[in-house]
Amino acid sequence: MSQPSRFRLGCDIGGTFTDFILLDQETGRFEIEKVMTTTDDPSRAVDDGIVLLADRRPEFPAACENIIHGTTLVINALIERKGAATALVATQGFADLLEMRKEIRYDIYDIAAVYPTPLVPREHRFELDERVTADGEVLRPLENTSLGTTLAKLRAAGIESVAVALLHAYANPVHEQEFAAAAAVAAPDLIVTLSSDVLPEIKEYERTSTTAINAYVRPLVDRYLARLEDRLRQRGFDCGLYLMLSGGGIIGTAAARRVPVRLIESGPVGGAIAAGHIGKIAGVRDVVAFDMGGTTAKGCLIRDGDLPIATSLEVDRVHRFKRGSGMPVGVPAVDLVEIGAGGGSIASIDGLGLIQVGPQSAGAEPGPICYGLGGTLPTVTDANLVLGYLDPDYFLGGTMTLDASGARRGIEREIGAAMQLSVEEAAWGIREVVNENMASAFRMYAAERGGDLPAATLVAFGGAGPLHADGVGRKLGIGKIIVPRAAGVFSALGFLVSPVAYEVSRTAVMRLGTAAGPKLESLYRELEATAGEAIAEATSGPQISFERIAEMSYLGQGHQIRVAVPAAAGSANGGAAVDTAALEAAFATDYRRQYGYAYDDLEAQIVTLRVLATAQGHAPEIIVPFANAARDDSIKTVRPAYDPIGRRFTDHEVHAMDRLCANQNITGPAIIEERESTLIVGIGAVARADPRGWVEVTLGGEMS
């Protein structure tokens, strides 16, 4: 007899580290592991971590219920241009769309602005003689001669994967489907991605870009998942493997192989989900999720417990913080902002003689100087080590010793000498620059979305998040910080509470005043059937719920907002027909909430319909309460660390996170260490071990 399933494993592959959290569902106990990412083959790092976990819990592989996996594989393949030999098939006259883009400069004053190199070179872009109108009418049928000639050219060019993005295919996909059917016969090894499957939505450039990205990474993801599944079988696993989606749900490998473009923000999303989860438990209305790892830092504002969802994002930007300088991706994604650098970001002197941090990163190879793996340029981690915030003998729980002397020499050589600063002053300068960069990005992000940062609570996680939370929080005027236990692997923790979920969409432009409720009902039911099929591929048994969403705007506007479609009474999913009057009222309410006003004299319109299907299930607890100890024995030692006010080193009590007792108070300056992360409690701040399993820090004033 097989053993009953009792374990769930969350695994997050980052740019520097790969994080693991193993949940024993019988006892509620967590096992945590962290290994260096193997950039040449990320599945090797997954295998390395599983071996370490299995050494501690030998029964785990045979009794594992599922593995939930987040990966940077897709985004790295785009940035490093390591995808498949890809072609684009477009309607006659539209083959250069990837290069023409929208003919809008992201910087109106830069006449020499550059853009990402298209994934598909000019010689691999082909055209079909066909035409469909915006309302789905076939204006010019697809010519068999054109179809045969194009397939012959694809074979001759040695193309592995092809993106098919025909004009107005979102309204009528018949010609794309004819191409796929012909390719299956004439070139059965060719991997075909249809825009009508990936993104059946209006906006030609975004649809073509998204389809091309999907085709570019699809063979790579397929091979990676095959390797990973093979490694898991060899280790004795016989369980479901799920992938984290950019939009917040998880899905099975079948859907992930078809639409890998949805995995672009796979890793960071898990942390945002877990931050929102803790915010609900803590009774916090608004949460600022702050995730700082080894390579990048990201964050989002979660209001009223709802994750902010965007229907597009941008990747591979030429200028990191300039919108429009990258490639658009039209997939549902948690609305994250890249807010700065990570622990491995390199510090240097810019053209004005000032300290600059990033965007270049030392990554996992060679890493910061202090890793002793060949790095020669100073990083944020090197600065934190020099300032005394990190224990060189307790990094990753003591499994990795840091080279403090090397870090000092690197900072002095590259920063201190050039600016006539002491090593400590130069290190503090590096830390201050990265903190201000992150705070500035957060301010801009919140201003664009109407958020009130001082009224929110900062939830800090990632290997470096708790190290910088005090400085970033003070700069933003935030008064309270929450740092969960296991903060260093928090994104992997978030995977465990994510449901199996999948969102589908379809453009259907119609004025709300003339929209027919029964017609909308029919369209939504078609979308529900499609989304339900993706859920059924991943899991069987759980009941599926459907959330209906309409992307709407006022007539004449070019941008839409997401509106939850109000349910009407009468049927299992709301009613016999969509209540258009209730939908119009919901749109006005949401528009007013977002922009501060709504129009009474403008007509509303629906642009795109969406359905989010979710498999119902019980989410496990992801917090570990502190023990009700009779006495405080959490102090490990006292060590000097930099005091920015006195500009000198001062003694900091160093506490062990796992030895804190419930309701224990710690007054700053102090340091609370965990195996995977370190929390700085600044001067004037007070930290309290919340009995429910996190440290709550109340900040004082801004440190200068």
Q: How is residue 689 written in tokens?
A: 């071990």
Confidence bin at 450 (pLDDT 50/70/90): confident
Q: How is residue 606 written in tokens?
A: 């629906």
Q: How is residue 395 written in tokens?
A: 């990094």
3-class state of residue 161 by DSSP: strand
- Nearest to residue 483, comparing CAs of 704, 294, 263, 666? 666
Residue 235 has pLDDT above 50, yes or no: yes
DSSP label at residue 60: T
Q: Enumerate residues 6+ apart whose C-beta is below 8 A from 419.
A: 349, 353, 355, 426, 429
- Nearest to residue 652, comparing CAs of 469, 411, 435, 390? 390
At residue 342's C-alpha, the angle toward residues 105 and 671, to 5°, is: 145
Number of Cα atoms under 13 Å in the Cβ half of residue 27:
6
Q: Enumerate residues 6+ apart whose C-beta is below 8 A from 681.
A: 470, 666, 667, 668, 669, 670, 671, 672, 687, 697
Q: How far apart are the first and last CA of the chain?
A: 64
The rounded mean pLDDT for the chain is 90
Side chain identity at residue 593, one-letter code: R
**Residue 133 to residue 638: CA distance in whole angstroms:** 73
pLDDT at 59: 92
Residue 432 has pLDDT above 80, yes or no: yes
Count helices and strands in the chain by DSSP H and E runs:
17, 34
pLDDT at 704: 40
Share of the chain above pLDDT 70, in %: 95
Q: Please check whether residue 411 is in contact with residue 378, taking contact to mean a CB–CB distance below 8 angstroms.
A: yes
Q: Please check whether residue 329 is in contact with residue 313, taking contact to mean a CB–CB distance below 8 angstroms.
A: yes
Confidence bin at 576 (pLDDT 50/70/90): low
Residue 606 has pLDDT above 90, yes or no: yes
- What sign has the CA pseudo-torsion 258, 264, 265, 266? positive
- Nearest to residue 14, comparing CAs of 440, 401, 361? 361
3-class state of residue 637 by DSSP: strand
Give the model confidence (pLDDT) of 649-688 as tens digits: 999 999 999 899 999 999 989 999 998 899 999 999 999 9
Q: Please check whether residue 263 is in contact with residue 243, taking contact to mean a CB–CB distance below 8 angstroms.
A: yes
pLDDT at 1: 40
Q: Which range has highest mean pLDDT (179-183, 392-396, 567-571)?
A: 179-183
pLDDT at 571: 41
**Residue 42 to residue 310: CA distance in whole angstroms:** 28
**Residue 248 to residue 543: CA distance in whole angstroms:** 19
Class of domain 84-214: alpha beta
pLDDT at 47: 93
Axis-axis angle for helices 73-80, 204-234 (nearest 10): 120
- 408-416 contact pairs (CB < 8 A, 24+): 409/369, 410/369, 410/376, 410/377, 410/378, 410/382, 411/347, 411/378, 411/382, 411/383, 411/386, 414/347, 414/348, 414/349, 414/377, 414/378, 415/347, 415/348, 415/349, 415/355, 415/378
Side chain identity at residue 355, one-letter code: I
Query: Tokens 């429009």 map to which residue?
Result: 324
Looking at domain 1-65, does it have CATH number 3.40.50.200? no
319 alpha carbon, distance to own chain's centre: 19
3-class state of residue 147 by DSSP: helix
Q: Which residue has the higher pLDDT, 584 or 312?
A: 584
Q: Say whether the peptide bond before residue 669 is cis (omega within 30 degrees of 0).
A: yes
Query: Tokens 């684009």 map to which residue?
Result: 88
pLDDT at 5: 65
Q: Please check whether residue 115 is in contact with residue 190, taking contact to mean a CB–CB distance below 8 angstroms.
A: no
pLDDT at 572: 44
Query: Residue 115 CB: number of other CB atoms within 10 A?
Result: 17
Confidence bin at 569 (pLDDT 50/70/90): very low
**Residues carrying CATH 3.40.50, the chain:** 84-214
Q: How is residue 625 written in tokens?
A: 């309460």
Give the model confidence (pLDDT) of 50-102 as tens digits: 999 999 999 999 999 899 999 888 888 888 888 999 999 999 999 999 999 88
Pick the range with the lowest mean pLDDT from 175-184, 209-218, 316-325, 669-678: 316-325
- φ, ψ dihedrals at 172, nearest 5°: -155, 110
**Residues carrying CATH 3.30.420.40, the chain:** 1-65
> How far are the Cα atoms of 240, 275, 484 from residue 251, in angstroms, in the given order?
10, 21, 26
**Residue 361 to residue 488: CA distance in whole angstroms:** 19
Give the model confidence (pLDDT) of 577-596 as tens digits: 889 999 999 999 999 988 88
How is 169-238 classified by DSSP, letter by letter? TTT--HHHHHHHHHHHHH-TT-EEEEHHHH---S-HHHHHHHHHHHHHHHHHHHHHHHHHHHHHHHTT--
Query: Tokens 């079988």 map to which residue?
Result: 233
70 alpha carbon, distance to own chain's centre: 9
At residue 503's C-alpha, the angle toward residues 87 and 98, to 5°, is: 25
Give the model confidence (pLDDT) of 454-470 as tens digits: 999 999 998 899 999 99
- 593-601 contact pairs (CB < 8 A, 24+): 594/449, 594/450, 594/561, 595/450, 596/450, 599/554
DSSP label at residue 565: P
HEC string for 273-299: HHHHHHHHHHCCCEEEEEEECCCEEEE
pLDDT at 403: 95
Q: Enumerate residues 6+ apart whose C-beta is below 8 A from 332.
A: 245, 246, 247, 248, 262, 309, 310, 311, 503, 505, 610, 612
> Which run of H or E residues covers position 32?
strand 30-36
Confidence bin at 3 (pLDDT 50/70/90): low
Give the model confidence (pLDDT) of 318-362 as tens digits: 886 688 888 999 999 999 888 767 888 899 998 889 999 987 888
Question: What's the whole-number mean pLDDT along residues 610-637?
Answer: 80
At residue 694's C-alpha, the angle toward residues 37 and 28, to 5°, is: 75
